[in-house]
């Protein structure tokens, strides 16, 4: 019997007669079987491959069969835009069998949320931060809402698993398990992940259910790909506008600032250009999506906000300015195209520098071999445990230290933290008055109130930090947000107070710093704001592939004539420096370059090792380290030999302690010095990767 026939008869009837489906896709058949068997599941399928239905249909069937009262299941997404995009589809599936689905996030009106609390829906679409709001609100409300909960779906699970939001999410799953008193079924959906079974382990936590991976066979990918190098940013924008003319295109860039610059340069060339990134107002983002869905001759210049499965209808082209940071991102972006019958997925890279050309080609080489990055969940997230301790103290109106592990200790991010680690964490938080203990119960102390008590504990709803933002307003229209630091610095320096946002130029009228509002009027020109963020180091795998490409003789079939000539020049310039198993130091008149091709996180630690062992200051990039002062080859060789005996973990911890004013988490003030150094070192360096790199490479020194 096929899995389709295991679905509840009412649902089968609706699928056939309302949706007009005769059968399920292979991924839906396999996922339905696994979910109805009660397993925890990771479902893998390409973008638009039917993953949503693969999870929602069997859950609706279970709700009907078991007559489960609301709330029966959660559908968790990483971003609000994806929830907005999924809302109508999931509601339609629920309503066709007499059930309902409700979307809950920060933009949903309070009145709608009150109605939901009075009459809950069977399926709730939500973000982790909104779940935290519900759990920290009223314990009675949370217990009443979630007492029947039986399953949680996590869409785009790869976007969660290796960061703090993922650690927060699986902690919340453990707390929900305590409220409902049952083994929650956990279902993850992903298009791109290299190690799905490890993600399944991360997702499992305290669950005793069996685990299954759903990954149906796929035919070879058919893609139309092109990579070319252009003279400058204006040439890139002209080519993007030319390719986009008369079509629907997404133009991906790697930062909000670059999105504004590219959109400005594409203007006036016959294409309707919109901007889509996290600082653009929700209304403008939705307008862009709507115009894109309904019209032709439209290009959206976007960051990764358009990467995670938001449906904008039929799409003709994906254009990529320079290169994304990973194969996973590349596959997500390419997967937006080729959904119509008779079309193929495509991506055209418009590169501005030789290095981004090489990076784009290396990403395509990896993708063609079927390689995708592993997602690496952390198991010593002490800062997230500090966050959860504070959240639990509010949720429970005080909590004893020994009960913290009862609530969240089974979550994967805490499995490598010992009892001693937890004791030190609690002791430090009490000593710093972040926690206060009375009659054996922990609650927020004076410093905890100061750090995290603003706006009804708003800082505790999310594990991530955000810089202070000013809301940009023109009349009654919301334009988006800019970071307060950008405008304050411009004001202090007497700089022009015109800037670009949402694809338009604005002149600052006045700023209400107290209320966080910047009032603007249209302007003829404006500079691009700066948005501060954490820079990401290039991966070791991508850097190694760039080295292989430089060593190879074949010409990638995707590269255009200008890029082909540049690749030949690059290969010539790197001749003798990219041999397999070697990482040579090239001596030059004014210093030295160490061609490691190891990635930024490894090179940063190597640079510190060189400095500590007497070789002076070295500047680390993704492909190499560079010393800009003369040094003898013999001295470099001697230092490199000493590096093989270095205790890299100790060096990473000592270096992290010495880095001034580096903040990677708003919960750093909670951490003992040792755990804070561990956190910083893990974000800056790759100790294990460096050890493996040294095992595989000899280091000849020329000159």
Is the per-residue pLDDT at 703 higher than 70? Answer: no
- For 703, the token pair is 């000159």
Tell whether 296 is covered by a domain.
yes
Sign of CA dihedral 237, 239, 244, 249: negative
Residue 527's pLDDT is 76
Is the per-residue pLDDT at 295 higher than 90? Answer: no
Q: Is 608 in the same domain as 652?
A: yes
Q: Residue 533 — very low, low, confident or very high, per pLDDT cuts 50/70/90?
A: low
Q: Residue 513 — very low, low, confident or very high, per pLDDT cuts 50/70/90?
A: confident
Is the per-residue pLDDT at 313 higher than 70? Answer: no
- Interval 334-356: pLDDT, tens: 887 776 666 788 899 999 999 99
Tell whether 436 is covered by a domain.
yes
Question: 386 vs 256, which has greater pLDDT?
Answer: 386
Q: Is 82 in the same domain as 151?
A: yes
Mean pLDDT, range 348-374, rounded to an integer: 93
- Identify the helix (H) or strand (E) that includes residue 189: strand 185-190
- Residues forming a β-bridge with 130: none
- Interval 633-648: pLDDT, tens: 999 999 999 999 999 9
Q: Is 229 in the same domain as 194?
A: no
What does DSSP say about strands 435-438 and 441-444: parallel, antiparallel, or unpaired? antiparallel
Single residue among 432, 460, 488 that ends a domain in this structure: 460
Tell whether 243 is covered by a domain.
yes
Residue 309's pLDDT is 58
Least-confidence region, from 115-129, 251-265, 572-586, 603-617: 251-265
Residue 136's pLDDT is 85
Q: Is 289 in the same domain as 157?
A: no
Q: Residue 311 — very low, low, confident or very high, per pLDDT cuts 50/70/90?
A: low
Mean pLDDT, range 598-615, rounded to an integer: 94
Mean pLDDT, range 473-501, rounded to an integer: 78
Residue 503's pLDDT is 81
- Interval 658-692: pLDDT, tens: 876 677 889 999 999 999 999 999 988 999 999 99
Is the per-residue pLDDT at 532 higher than 60? Answer: no
Q: Residue 154 — very low, low, confident or very high, per pLDDT cuts 50/70/90?
A: very high
Tell whether 555 is covered by a domain.
no
Nearest to 137 by CA among 464, 463, 461: 461
Q: Residue 401 — very low, low, confident or very high, per pLDDT cuts 50/70/90?
A: very high
Residue 163's pLDDT is 87
Q: Is 27 in the same domain as 71?
A: yes
Q: Is 29 in the same domain as 175?
A: yes
Tell whether 559 is covered by a domain.
no
Q: Is 73 in the same domain as 188?
A: yes
Sign of CA dihedral 690, 694, 698, 703: positive
Nearest to 237 by CA among 257, 269, 265: 265
Q: Is 30 in the same domain as 166?
A: yes
Q: Residue 519 — very low, low, confident or very high, per pLDDT cuts 50/70/90?
A: confident
Q: Is 142 in the same domain as 19?
A: yes
Is the per-residue pLDDT at 414 higher than 70? Answer: yes
Tell whether 69 is covered by a domain.
yes
Nearest to 101 by CA among 77, 67, 72: 72
Least-confidence region, from 183-197, 385-399, 514-528: 514-528
Number of domains in the chain: 5
Is the per-residue pLDDT at 472 higher than 90? Answer: no
Single residue among 368, 403, 424 that ends a domain in this structure: 368
- Identify the helix (H) or strand (E) that includes residue 258: helix 256-266
Compute how many other C-beta atoms are within 10 angstroms of the C-beta atom of residue 87.
16
Mean pLDDT, range 529-541, rounded to an integer: 66
Distances in Å between the alpha carbon of 680 and those of 431, 609, 686?
22, 17, 11
The CATH number given to whatever domain includes residue 434 is 1.10.10.10
Q: Residue 443 — very low, low, confident or very high, per pLDDT cuts 50/70/90?
A: very high
Q: Is 692 in the same domain as 618?
A: yes
Interatomic CA distance for residues 239 and 248, integer angstroms:
15
Mean pLDDT, range 44-63, rounded to an integer: 90
Residue 530's pLDDT is 63
Q: What is the DSSP string of 228-252?
A: EE-SSHHHHHHHHHHHHTTSEEEEE
Q: Is 174 in the same domain as 283?
A: no
Q: Residue 626 — very low, low, confident or very high, per pLDDT cuts 50/70/90?
A: very high
Single residue among 368, 395, 425 that ends a domain in this structure: 368
Mean pLDDT, range 11-15, rounded to an integer: 95
Residue 510's pLDDT is 82
Tell whether 353 is covered by a domain.
yes
Instruction: Give the three-class secondary structure for 350.
Output: strand
Is the per-residue pLDDT at 550 higher than 90? Answer: yes
Mean pLDDT, range 598-623, rounded to an integer: 94
Q: Residue 467 — very low, low, confident or very high, per pLDDT cuts 50/70/90?
A: low
Is the per-residue pLDDT at 79 higher than 70? Answer: yes
Is the per-residue pLDDT at 289 higher than 90? Answer: no
Contacts of 482 (CB under 8 A, 6+ apart): 279, 469, 470, 472, 499, 501, 518, 529, 531
Q: Is 66 in the same domain as 120?
A: yes
Tell whether 168 is covered by a domain.
yes
Q: Residue 366 — very low, low, confident or very high, per pLDDT cuts 50/70/90?
A: very high
Enclosing domain of residue 55: 3-214
Instruction: Give the three-class secondary structure for 300.
Output: strand
Mean of per-residue pLDDT scores for the chain: 89
The CATH number given to whatever domain includes residue 277 is 3.40.50.300
Of the chain, the percentage scoring pLDDT greater than 70 comes to 94
């Amino acid at each position: 019997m096929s899995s389709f026939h295991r679905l509840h008869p009412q649902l089968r009837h609706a699928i056939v007669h309302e949706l007009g489906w005769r059968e399920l896709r292979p991924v839906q058949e396999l996922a339905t079987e696994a979910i109805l068997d009660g397993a925890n599941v990771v479902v893998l399928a390409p973008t638009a491959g039917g993953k949503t239905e693969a999870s929602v249909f069997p859950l609706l069937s279970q709700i009907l069969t078991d007559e489960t009262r609301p709330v029966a299941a959660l559908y968790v997404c990483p971003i609000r835009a994806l929830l907005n995009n999924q809302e109508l589809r999931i509601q339609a599936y629920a309503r066709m069998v007499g059930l309902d689905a409700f979307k809950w996030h920060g933009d949903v009106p309070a009145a709608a949320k009150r109605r939901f609390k009075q009459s809950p829906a069977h399926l709730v679409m939500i973000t982790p931060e909104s779940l935290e709001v519900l759990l920290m609100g009223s314990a009675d409300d949370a217990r009443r809402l979630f007492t029947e909960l039986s399953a949680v779906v996590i869409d785009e699970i790869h976007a969660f698993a290796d960061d703090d939001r993922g650690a927060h999410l699986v902690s919340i799953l453990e707390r929900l398990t305590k409220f409902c008193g049952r083994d929650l079924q956990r279902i993850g959906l992903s298009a791109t992940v290299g190690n799905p079974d490890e993600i399944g382990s991360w997702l499992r936590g305290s669950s005793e259910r069996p685990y299954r991976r759903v990954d149906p066979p796929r035919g070879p990918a058919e893609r139309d790909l092109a990579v070319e190098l252009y003279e400058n940013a204006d040439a890139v924008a002209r080519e993007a506008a030319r390719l986009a003319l008369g079509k629907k295109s997404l133009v991906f860039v790697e930062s909000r600032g670059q999105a504004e610059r590219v959109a400005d340069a594409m203007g006036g060339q016959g294409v309707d250009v919109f901007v889509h990134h996290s600082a653009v107002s929700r209304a403008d983002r939705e307008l862009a999506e709507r115009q894109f869905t309904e019209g032709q001759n439209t290009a959206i210049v976007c960051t990764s906000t358009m990467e995670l499965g938001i449906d904008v209808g039929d799409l003709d082209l994906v254009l990529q300015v320079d290169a994304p940071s990973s194969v996973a991102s590349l596959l997500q972006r390419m997967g937006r195209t080729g959904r119509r019958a008779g079309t193929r997925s495509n991506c055209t890279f418009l590169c501005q520098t030789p290095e981004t050309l090489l990076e784009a080609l290396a990403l395509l080489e990896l993708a063609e071999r079927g390689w995708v990055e592993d997602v690496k969940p952390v198991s010593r997230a002490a800062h997230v445990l500090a966050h959860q301790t504070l959240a639990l103290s509010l949720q429970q109106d005080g909590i004893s230290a020994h009960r913290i592990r009862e609530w969240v200790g089974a979550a994967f991010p805490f499995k490598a933290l010992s009892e001693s680690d937890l004791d030190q964490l609690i002791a430090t938080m009490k000593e710093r008055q972040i926690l206060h203990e009375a009659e054996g119960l922990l609650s927020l102390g004076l410093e905890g109130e100061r750090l995290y008590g603003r706006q009804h504990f708003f800082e505790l709803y999310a594990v991530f930090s955000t810089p202070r933002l000013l809301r940009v307003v023109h009349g009654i229209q919301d334009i988006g947000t800019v970071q307060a630091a950008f405008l304050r610095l411009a004001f202090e320096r007497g700089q022009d107070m015109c800037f670009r946002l949402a694809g338009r130029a604005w002149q600052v009228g006045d700023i209400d710093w107290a209320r966080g509002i910047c009032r603007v009027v249209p302007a003829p020109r404006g500079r691009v704001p700066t948005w501060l963020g954490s820079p990401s180091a290039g991966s070791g795998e991508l850097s190694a592939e760039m080295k292989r490409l430089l060593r190879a003789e074949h010409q990638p079939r995707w590269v255009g004539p200008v890029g082909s000539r540049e690749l030949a020049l690059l290969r010539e310039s790197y001749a003798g420096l990219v041999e397999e198993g070697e990482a040579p130091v090239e001596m030059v008149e004014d210093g030295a370059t160490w061609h490691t091709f190891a990635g930024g996180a490894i090179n940063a630690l190597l640079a510190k090792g060189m400095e500590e062992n007497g070789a002076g200051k070295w500047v680390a990039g993704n492909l190499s380290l560079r010393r800009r002062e003369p040094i003898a080859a013999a001295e470099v060789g001697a230092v490199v030999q000493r590096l093989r005996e270095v205790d890299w973990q100790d060096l990473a911890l000592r270096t992290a302690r010495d880095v001034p004013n580096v903040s990677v988490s708003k919960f750093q003030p909670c951490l003992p010095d040792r755990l804070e150094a561990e956190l910083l070192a893990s974000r800056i360096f790759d100790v294990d990767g460096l050890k493996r790199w040294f095992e595989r490479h000899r280091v000849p020194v020329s000159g």
